């Protein structure tokens, strides 16, 4: 029981078309690039499937939960649905930034314990992890951005492009001012 | 009256070693970091249980009369 088995279940969901394209997001995605921080859950960004939309326009995770319940996964923690020891949060693509992040996600062969073999998965790229942290904007998200910048784990040109494309300039400048960091994107302040 | 000057130890070497340790961890593979987190979560589970017990024992705040 562990992340390998969790991802095996999620890969099976994708193969069975219960979910569309997916990628690991959030704190676990950041593990691919920077020093890890403890987290209780794994965020899985999933492609929006029109079949999962109710008549009210709201998105339902019903088909996903029903599929997993049939497989014996129905234990909820406040962090998410427990799958092989990890609380999993399925997060549907909710804006253009998410859509680009998912489309550009990196394919990786992940080996956690050598005796288990590896698992193929996708993980968000650094510029999208940082941009998403910027958009969410909690203090812990800002800490994550500082980590990426300090550890030089993000391509600055790619990050500046994402900030520009998704209108995150104000959030970026606010973050830089609070963190006391000079702007590597050299965006002109309009605040 | 002048306060006596306190001499503190130089801990820059300790901080440097810690920074090096953080860099070493950051350089590990994705899989190694997940394995490390899984082991860490097990070790931290008793603290998490205590935190949850403390939260559960806290009286619920009610707003307004």
Residue B63 has pLDDT above 70, yes or no: no
Decide if A117 touches B, using CB distance below 8 A.
no
Question: What sign results for the dihedral spanned by CA atoms A47, A128, B22, A89?
Answer: negative
Per DSSP, the residues of A60-123 read --HHHHHHHHHTT---EETTEEEETTEEEEEEE--SHHHHHHHHTPEEEEEESSGGG-EEEEEE
What does DSSP say about strands A41-46 and A86-92: parallel, antiparallel, or unpaired?
A: parallel
pLDDT at residue B62, as a whole number: 63
Could you tell me the pTM of the whole model?
A: 0.86
* A61 token code pair: 């995770």
Secondary structure element (H or E) that encloses residue A157, with its range = helix A156-165
Return the DSSP state at A153: -
Residues 20-39 of B with CB under 8 A from A: 22-23, 25-26, 29-31, 33-38
pLDDT at residue A31, as a whole number: 94
Q: Which residues contact A86 (CB under 8 A, 6 or more apart)?
A: A2, A3, A6, A41, A42
CA distance B4 to chain A (A): 35
ipTM: 0.74
CA distance B10 to chain A (A): 24
Which tens digit of pLDDT belongs to each residue from B11-47?
788 888 888 888 899 999 999 999 999 998 888 888 7
| pLDDT tens for the 191 residues of chain A, in order | 899 999 999 999 999 999 999 999 999 999 999 999 888 899 999 997 666 665 666 667 888 999 999 999 999 887 789 999 999 999 999 999 999 999 999 999 999 988 999 999 999 999 999 999 999 999 999 999 999 999 999 999 999 999 999 999 999 999 999 999 999 998 765 54
**Shortest CA distance from A111: residue in chain B:** B31
Secondary structure element (H or E) that encloses residue B27, with its range = none
CA distance A147 to B25: 13
């Amino acid at each position: 029981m562990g992340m390998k088995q969790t991802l095996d279940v999620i890969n099976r969901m994708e193969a069975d078309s219960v979910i569309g394209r997916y990628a690991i997001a959030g704190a676990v995605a950041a593990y691919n690039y920077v020093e890890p921080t403890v987290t209780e859950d794994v965020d899985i960004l999933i492609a929006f499937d029109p079949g999962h939309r109710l008549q009210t326009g709201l998105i339902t995770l019903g088909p996903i939960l029903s599929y997993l319940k049939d497989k014996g996964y129905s234990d909820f923690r406040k962090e998410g649905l427990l799958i092989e020891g990890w609380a999993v949060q399925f997060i549907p693509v909710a804006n253009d930034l998410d859509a680009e992040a998912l489309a550009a996600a990196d394919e990786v062969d992940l080996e956690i314990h050598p005796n288990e073999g590896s698992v193929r998965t996708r993980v968000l790229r650094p510029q999208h992890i940082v941009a998403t942290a910027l958009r969410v904007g909690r203090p812990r998200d800002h800490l994550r951005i500082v980590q990426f910048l300090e550890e030089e784990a993000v391509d600055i040109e790619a990050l500046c492009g994402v900030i520009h494309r998704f209108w995150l300039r104000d959030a970026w400048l606010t973050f830089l001012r609070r963190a006391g960091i000079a702007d590597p994107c050299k965006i002109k302040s309009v605040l | 009256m002048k306060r006596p000057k306190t001499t503190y130890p130089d801990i820059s070497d300790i901080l440097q070693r810690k920074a090096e340790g953080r860099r070493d961890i950051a350089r590990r593979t994705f899989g190694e970091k997940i394995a490390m987190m899984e082991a860490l979560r097990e070790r931290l589970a008793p603290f998490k249980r205590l935190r949850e017990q403390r939260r559960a024992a806290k009286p619920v705040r009610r707003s307004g009369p």
